[in-house]
Amino acid sequence: MHSPKAVGRQAAARKYDIITALGTYALARGKHDHRLVLRLLTLITARYNWQRDELAVGQREIARMWSVDERTVKREMAKLRGMGWLVVKRQGARGRVSEYSINFVRLLDDTRDDWAKVGPDYDHRMKGEPAPEQGAEVVPLPVRGSVPAPEAGGGSAWDLARAILHQEDAANYGSWFHRLRAGERVGGRLTLVAPSRFHAAYVRSHFTVRLLNVCRSVDDSITQVFVTE
């Protein structure tokens, strides 16, 4: 399995992978687990400091965020600690809030059985294995010079998504995303056209979930992103 921490050049993509693992795990379980993981996801996206591995937020703020009372917050946070997903870094005292870290090794180990539900590309990537149609890791194509940020003025979902992809990871944008062009849109399915069969296959194997998440962040009516040549 790849390093569980979202650090380095692939940090942005790794965050999406972790959030996907949590969401898929929650949706496969009952309403109580579903709600608990949703509450954790809300804390992660709103208050977790990825660089410092630190979640520092008071019970009153959590209660307001979750629309519950502080007693419920104590119970739910205790559950997450009991699962081994949250670890206390510093106990709160004298007006100071408790600080937690997230045990991603345990979290990902617990969600492992649900990875394949996302797709074989995601499952193999999370396990650190080459994609089925590849015998080994593929090194991103080199980019000569820097690729300028795309114009988002067109206003289409793909125009806006390209701008986000460039901002999050200019290197991968230059290697894999900037040559994708929007194809047909049928219902919730957005087709992206790559310049070659290899290019399309690599993007499908390594970036399908990321592309879908970014496209959905600008247009939640998109339910599928398909890359073809």
Which residues, in sequence order, are CB contacts of 180 under 8 Å at separation 6+? 158, 162, 192, 193, 194, 203, 227
Report pLDDT for 144: 45
Q: Is 135 helix (H, G, I), strand (E, B) or coil?
A: coil
**Ramachandran area for residue 81 (φ above 0: left; ψ -120 to 50: alpha; else beta):** alpha
Q: Which amino acid is at 188?
A: G
> 111-149 burial, b for 16+ CB within 10 Å, e for fewer?
beebbeebeebbbbbbeeeebeeeeeeeeeeeeeeebee
Label the pairing between strands 189-193 and 224-228: parallel
Tell me the whole-structure pTM to 2 decimals: 0.55
Angle value at C-alpha 84, between 80 and 88, nearest 5 degrees: 75
Q: What is the full per-residue pLDDT of the chain (229 aa) written as tens digits?
A: 444 555 555 677 788 899 999 999 999 999 999 999 999 999 999 999 988 889 999 999 999 999 999 999 999 999 999 999 999 988 877 778 889 999 988 999 999 999 999 988 888 888 876 555 544 444 455 454 467 777 655 678 898 998 898 888 888 888 889 889 999 999 999 999 998 888 888 888 889 999 999 999 989 999 999 999 8
Quickly tell me which residue has 């703020």 as its tokens.
61
